[in-house]
Amino acid sequence: MSAALDSSAGADNASPLVEEILTAARNRLSKASFGPPTREAALLLARVMGLTEAQLLAHSRDVVPPAAADEFSSLLERRLTGEPVAYLLQEKEFFGRPFLVDSRVLIPRPETEHLVEFALEQNLPRSPSILDVGTGSGCIGLTLALEISAARVVATDLSPSALAVASTNARRLGVTDRVRLVATDLARGLDPTRFDLVVSNPPYIGHDEADELSPEVRRFEPATALFSPVDAHRVLERLLTDLQSVKMGTPLMVEIGFGQRDKVESLASGSPFELATIRPDYAGIPRVAIFHRR
C-alpha cells in the first residue's frame, strides 16, 4: 500500500478522507458542468496521491495527506476555470500510449486515431518514409513510427514550442532514432518526392466559427492549432498545392472538420490530387479525406 494511503500513518481528525474530498469536489464540479464530475475528481486526486483511480477508490476511507490535499485543491480551482483535465494531468492517451500534453499543443482527440488506423491500412513499402504535417504533440507521426517498426518519420510544425513537446514524447516513447522534427511552414524546405505517405491533422476551424467552440477549447488550446488562417479550408488548400511534387499515387491523408465534405470535394477537383475517399469516424462524421497524387 502507498504510504499516502496508510490510514494508520499519522491520521488525525482534521485531515480529510479520500471520500470527503471526492464528494466536495464532485459537488463543485457538477455545478460547473464541464465534464463527468465524479471521474474528473477521482482522476485529479489519484494523480496527486500517486495512485491509480482504482487504488484510490479502494481506499476511500483513508486520509489524504495535507500536501496532496493542497495540490488537489489547486488543480480543482484550475479545472473550475475550464482548464482541460489533460493539461492538468499533463497527459493524454492516444492509440493506447500516454502522450505529454500541455498548453503548447492541441490535446489529441479520439477521432484522430481513425487517421492512424486508415494510414496503417495503406499499401506501403516495408520501410516507408512518412511525413506528418502539423504534428503538435507528435501523436500521429510518433504513433505511426511505433506501429510500423521500420518507418522513418519527418514531423513538422510551425510552432517550436509544440515541437519541444513532440521531442519529449519521441524520447519517452523511444523513437528518436526514426523521427525527425522540423520547424517549418507545412513542408517548406523538405523534398516531397521522398515520402511514401503524408498525413496531417491541420487547423481546420475558421475564425468566424470561434463562438461555436466550447470555452474549454477556445480559451485553453493553442489558437495556431485550432484556427486556419483566412478561412477554415486554407491550410488544406495549401497542402494540396505545396505537396504536389509527391510521387504519383502517394496517399495524402488529412483530417477534416464536421460539415466540410462538399468543400473538400470541390478543392480536390481543381487540384493535382484526386480525392479517393472520405472515411467516417465512429460517429458517422466524414473525418479523414484520402487523396492520391494524380
Ligand X SMILES: C[S@@+](CC[C@H](N)C(=O)[O-])C[C@H]1O[C@@H](n2cnc3c(N)ncnc32)[C@H](O)[C@@H]1O
Q: Which residues of this chain interact with ligand X, rule CB under 6 A?
A: 105-106, 108, 112, 133-137, 139-140, 156-159, 162, 185-186, 201-203, 224-225
Closest approach of ligand X to the CB of residue 25, in Å: 28
Taking each helix axis as running N to C, give the angle between helix 66-80 and helix 18-32, from 0 to 180 degrees, rounded to the nearest 10. Answer: 10
> What distance in Å separates the CA atoms of residue 121 and residue 89, rounded to the nearest whole number?
32
Closest approach of ligand X to the CB of residue 144, in Å: 11
Query: Nearer to ligand X by C-beta: 38 or 103?
Result: 103
At 68, list the grid cell.
496532496
Closest approach of ligand X to the CB of residue 106, in Å: 4
Closest approach of ligand X to the CB of residue 202, in Å: 6
Please answer whether residues 59 and 68 qualify as being in contact, where contact means their C-beta atoms are separated by less than 8 angstroms.
no
Closest approach of ligand X to the CB of residue 254, in Å: 11
Query: Nearer to ligand X by C-beta: 68 or 290?
Result: 290
**Edge-to-edge order in the sheet of strand 251-255:** 179-183, 152-157, 129-133, 197-200, 251-255, 286-293, 273-280
Handedness of CA 251, 254, 260, 264 (dihedral sign): negative
Please answer whether residues 289 and 266 qualify as being in contact, where contact means their C-beta atoms are separated by less than 8 angstroms.
no
Query: Nearer to ligand X by C-beta: 137 or 271?
Result: 137
Query: Nearer to ligand X by C-beta: 29 or 235?
Result: 235
Please answer whether residues 272 and 244 qualify as being in contact, where contact means their C-beta atoms are separated by less than 8 angstroms.
yes
Query: Nearer to ligand X by C-beta: 40 or 132?
Result: 132
Determine the residue type at 269: S
